Amino acid sequence: GVAAADGLADFPLTRDQIVQLASAFEGHPDNAAASVLGGAVVSWTNLPVDGKSQPEYSAVGLKVHEDIRATALVPDFHASTEAVRRVLPSDVTHIDARFNVSRAAVMIVALQQRPDLLWEGSRDRLHQPYRSDVLPVTAEWVNRLRNRGYAAYLSGAGPTVMVLSTEAVAENILDDAREAGLRVMELDVAKPVRVVVNHA
Of 40, 62, 84, the last residue of a domain is 62
By the 10 Å C-beta count (0-12 exposed, 13-18 middle, 19+ buried), 60 is classed as exposed
Query: Is position 145 within any domain?
Result: yes
pTM: 0.85
Judge if 167 and 117 occupy the same domain. Answer: yes
Query: Is position 47 within any domain?
Result: yes
From CA 158, how far away is CA 85, in angstroms rounded? 10
pLDDT of residue 36: 84
Judge if 181 and 120 occupy the same domain. Answer: yes
For the segment 82-108, what is each residue's pLDDT rounded down to a tens digit? 788 889 999 999 999 999 999 999 999
Judge if 168 and 91 occupy the same domain. Answer: yes
Domain that holds residue 32: 1-62
Query: Is position 138 within any domain?
Result: yes
34 has pLDDT over 70: yes
Percent of the chain with pLDDT over 90: 58
Query: Is position 199 within any domain?
Result: no
Judge if 75 and 22 occupy the same domain. Answer: no
Of 37, 62, 87, the last residue of a domain is 62
* Helix boundaries (H) for the chain: 2-8, 15-26, 30-37, 81-86, 94-112, 118-121, 128-131, 136-147, 171-179
